[in-house]
């Protein structure tokens, strides 16, 4: 089980490296303060962080550190994530985490969900 988690973490580092080389425009955020600018893409692979993308691991992205169970409204419609937290993260279609979760991202997960459509809020559970 632990090896699988390490493989996921390695995949996250690889994706972040590719994003850095591709020149993806970064955007940072914290769960408490909201979006800001100037993040280093390698921070998406740091334990406890979560990054979300506007495309399938392409386009605008935002880095969140230390998210909790409070609802976080994304700065754009999210279509992909790298979840380096130790908790599952639930994504919702609306901006206030109401209704049924549209996507559940496991701890140490790396996924995109173009077929689900853009999601606008999330929280750790």
Look up the CATH number of the domain holding residue 41.
Answer: 2.60.20.10
Q: How many domains does the chain have?
A: 1
Mean pLDDT of the chain: 78
* pLDDT top residue among 5 and 79: 79
pLDDT tens for 36-71 read: 345 677 888 989 999 999 998 888 999 998 888 999
Written as six digits, the tokens of 71 are 């609802």
Residue 81 near residue 64, CB atoms below 8 Å: no
Model pTM score: 0.73
Q: Which domain covers residue 77, as residue numbers?
A: 2-124
Angle (CA) 33 9 61, round 5°: 35
With contact defined as beta carbons under 8 Å apart, do 96 and 73 qualify? yes
- Backbone φ and ψ of 18, nearest 5°: -65, -40
- Both tokens of residue 115? 């077929």
């Amino acid at each position: 089980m632990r090896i699988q988690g390490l493989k996921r973490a390695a995949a996250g580092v690889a994706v972040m490296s590719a994003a850095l080389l591709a020149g993806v425009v970064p955007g940072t955020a914290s769960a408490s303060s909201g979006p800001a600018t100037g993040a280093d893409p390698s921070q998406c692979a740091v334990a406890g962080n979560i990054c979300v993308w506007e495309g399938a691991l392409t386009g605008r992205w935002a880095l969140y550190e230390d998210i909790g169970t409070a609802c976080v409204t994304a700065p754009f419609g999210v279509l992909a994530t790298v979840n380096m937290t130790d908790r599952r993260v639930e994504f919702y279609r609306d901006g206030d985490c109401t209704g049924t979760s549209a996507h559940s991202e496991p701890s140490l997960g790396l996924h995109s969900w173009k077929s689900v459509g853009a999601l606008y809020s999330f929280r750790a559970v």
